[in-house]
Amino acid sequence: MDTLLTGLGKSAQTIGLVGPSVTDHPDLPALARKITEQGKKLSFSSLRMETLTDELVDLILQSGQKTLTVAVDAPSEKMRDVINKAATDDFIVEKCRFLTRKGILHLKIYSIIGLPLETEDDIDQFIRLVERVQEGYVEECRKLGRIGQLTIGLSPLVPKPGTPFQWHPMESVKSLKKKFARVRKALGKIPYLKMSFGSPNEAYLQTYLSRGDRNTQAFFKTYLNNGHDAKSALKEHPVDEYVYRQYEKNDYLPWDIVDHGYRENFLWEDYQRGLKAAHTPVCDTAICHICGLC
């Protein structure tokens, strides 16, 4: 890192730290301190709330960063159980208050919807969570005498190969649009709140490209020949069977030719755990060898 920072000199004012779980890195505070000491701004793709300590938030603020994106991961506590995340609504509300008190005036909260077992009640719980977060955010901002903006981001689940949900179909575009409309109607008039929604149609295309087999070449040929019009290409190549198919344990998956390194049946077992909303212990890479990767 020293070599990289020296090489950058003054050419880069912001250093972005990107990864699936950046704040899990044991040396992150030391790394963040080194970056801020050189007068550079820290930037993160997304942060897990439970890892945001006083020290790390202070370093982020010292670097001049006034906006944070944090993941609540799923719309309700039950859905967080499905994806093996332990954060309660009360914890999320209090953490958002903490971040606002510290001086984070622009707070972005990100969640996925369209998870297995999700119902309208989970969406209603998310709406209530946002209302509580917004109330606490405004209250803390008033104490500071300044107010910024709270942004809520919702994105549809795109089942990806090499994950426990690779067997699970994407929720229908029609259903996802109804959920977005439900959230928009409930929260649309709340002050200092901005909403951002991922496109269900875009998620449909991403799911096809993620779960498709060799037949996707026909789609790409059409796409390349029609001026890169994905919507038109999808009409010529119906792909519902890839997007909405529920795979079973013994089904051959198009991507099974790739060895991801997981122990046999690990992902399927994790998928079944998720369908039961059961928890597994936090992975400790020093001693844990359950998945087979470490």
| DSSP conformation class of 194 | E
Tell me, what CATH number does 147's domain have?
3.30.750.200
Q: What is the pLDDT of residues 192-217, one digit of tens each?
A: 999 999 999 999 999 999 999 999 99
Residue 38 lies in a domain: no
Number of domains, the chain: 1
Summary mean pLDDT of the chain? 89
Write out the H or E segment, with its range, that includes residue 153. strand 149-156
pLDDT above 70: percentage of residues in the chain: 90
Q: What is the mean pLDDT of residues 158-170?
A: 96
* Inside any domain, residue 9: no
Q: Classify residue 34: in a domain, yes or no.
A: no
Which pLDDT score is estimated for 9?
A: 55
Closest CA to 110 of 53, 67, 163: 67
145 inside domain: yes
How far is CA 105 from its chain centroid?
A: 21
Element (H, E) at 121: helix 120-144
117 in a structural domain: yes
In a domain, 3, yes or no: no
Instruction: Look at residue 288 and tell me if it is in a domain.
Output: no
The percentage of residues in the chain with a pLDDT greater than 90, rounded to a whole number, is 65
Range of the domain at 104: 66-275
Count Cα neighbours of 206 within 13 Å in the Cβ-side half-sphere: 16
Residue type, 96: C
Interatomic CA distance for residues 116 and 264, integer angstroms: 22
Does residue 208 lie within any of the structural domains?
Answer: yes
Q: Residue 2 pLDDT > 70, yes or no?
A: no
Residue 140 has pLDDT above 70, yes or no: yes
Contact of 111 with 74, CB cutoff 8 Å: yes
